[in-house]
Amino acid sequence: MVQIFNGGKENMRSKSHNLLIGLVTGALLAATLACGTGGVASTPTAAIPPTDTFAPSQTPPPLFQSVTLTSVPAQETSTTPEYTVTAQTPALQGSDDPRVLLFNNEMAQITQQEIASFKDDARMVQAPPPGTPGSTYDQSFELLSPPGNLISVKFSIMIYMARAAHPGTHSRTVTYDLQAGRDLALGDLFLPNSDYLDPIAAYCVAELQERPIGFDPSMGGAQPTSSNYGNWNVSQDGLVITFDEYQVAPYSSGPQVVVVPYSALTAVLDPNGPLAPLLP
């Protein structure tokens, strides 16, 4: 019995020895496979996708910073009928943007329309006696708006018709939104559905009454109607209203200009409208 027991223990030891050799051999084989040909096992890492690089975006400067308002001169004479035309026309230079071209075309059309009307009238008058002046057309303009997106131009046109007692003048005004590429109407400056003409007229009437020009409010030239306030411009100081000859005063008093400060219109001005950069 003793021999059988001892033989069983030796058999168990032999199996344990063989099992240990197998485990060691397997571990060495696994390490060899893991190391590959480099001899050092590496830990796999997740791939990092490449990062796209973009050039920083740049906002183009406002269009008004790229253009300059210039004057285009024109002169023409005729003997039959006898007249002389002299005109200065505003034009933007520095950009071929369609909004610039639209402004330039409009200014040229205004000049052409006014000159064509003058020529029609000049053909209707009797030729002046020798040595006396013929008909004349003289057009100038001024920019009333400060540097910025709004271009507010006032044309002053003086016309003398042959044999007339004196020349006459009238105005045309344009306020152009360069960014939008369109003319502004007076109502575009104010809150929707506001009675903006009332405070404008009230200020103008009070101002005209203070001047020694023979102003008579009952004549109606300063009443709050669109036709009375068709000649307007924007400036740094306020809304510029031009009343032509005979509108609010006799010819001898000349045209009248009233600047309505924006502070007098705060109740009706649109704080987010085209005049926002000029408002106090």
CATH value at residue 218? 3.90.640.20
User: CA–CA separation, 91 vs 81, rounded Å?
Assistant: 30
Residue 180: CATH number of its domain? 3.30.565.40
One-letter identity of residue 216: D
Of 184, 210, 234, which residue is a domain's last?
Answer: 184
Decide: 73 and 88 in contact? Cβ < 8 Å. Answer: yes
Q: Is residue 40 part of a domain?
A: no
DSSP state of 124: H
End-of-domain residue from the set 149, 169, 184: 184
Residue 131 domain-assigned (yes or no): yes
Query: For position 37, what pLDDT does the model report?
Result: 45
| Main-chain dihedrals φ then ψ at residue 67, nearest 5 degrees | -125, 160
Beta bridge partners of 103: none
Number of domains within the chain: 2
Residue 139 lies in a domain: yes
Is there a single domain that holds both residue 178 and residue 246? no
- Strands of the chain (E only): list them: 68-79, 82-93, 135-143, 150-160, 168-177, 182-183, 232-234, 238-243, 256-261
| Residues 175 and 195 reside in one and the same domain | no
Domain co-membership, 105 together with 144: yes
Task: Verify that 210 and 142 share a domain, yes or no.
Answer: no
Question: Domain check: are 235 and 152 in the same one?
Answer: no
Query: Going residue by residue through the chain (280 aa), what tens digit of pLDDT does each one get?
Result: 333 334 444 444 444 444 444 444 444 434 443 444 444 444 445 455 555 555 566 788 999 999 999 999 999 999 999 999 999 999 999 999 999 999 999 999 999 999 999 999 999 999 998 888 999 999 999 999 999 999 999 999 999 999 999 999 999 999 999 999 999 999 999 999 999 999 999 999 999 999 999 999 998 999 999 999 999 999 999 999 999 999 999 999 999 999 999 999 999 999 999 999 999 8
Distance CA 214, CA 253 (A): 8
Full domain range(s) for residue 191: 187-280
How confident is the model at residue 51, as a pLDDT? 54
Q: Do 176 and 191 fall within a single domain?
A: no
Residue 168 lies in a domain: yes
Rounded Cα–Cα distance for residues 78 and 80 (Å):
6
Within this chain, do residues 218 and 263 fall inside the same structural domain, yes or no?
Answer: yes
Give yes or no for a contact between 231 and 243, defined as CB atoms under 8 angstroms apart. yes
Nearest to 136 by CA among 167, 110, 108: 167
Q: How many CA atoms lie within 13 A of 101 on its CB side?
A: 3
In this structure, the answer to whether residues 226 and 177 fall within a common structural domain is: no
Q: Does residue 100 lie within any of the structural domains?
A: yes
What contacts 62, CB < 8 A, 6 or more positions away? 149, 179
Instruction: Say if residues 183 and 106 touch (Cβ distance below 8 Å).
Output: yes
Statement to judge: residues 68 and 180 lie in one domain: yes
Within-domain flag for 163: yes
Same domain, 177 and 106: yes
Q: Are residues 204 and 257 in the same domain?
A: yes
Pair (249, 146) in one structural domain: no
Is residue 4 assigned to a domain? Answer: no
pLDDT attached to residue 170: 98
| CA 49 to each of CA 16, 44, 53: distance values in angstroms, whole numbers, following the listed order | 51, 16, 13
In a domain, 130, yes or no: yes
Spatial distance between the Cα atoms of 134 and 157, rounded to a whole number of angstroms: 17
Query: Is-above-0.85 flag for pTM?
Result: no
Last residue of a domain, one of 184, 208, 241: 184
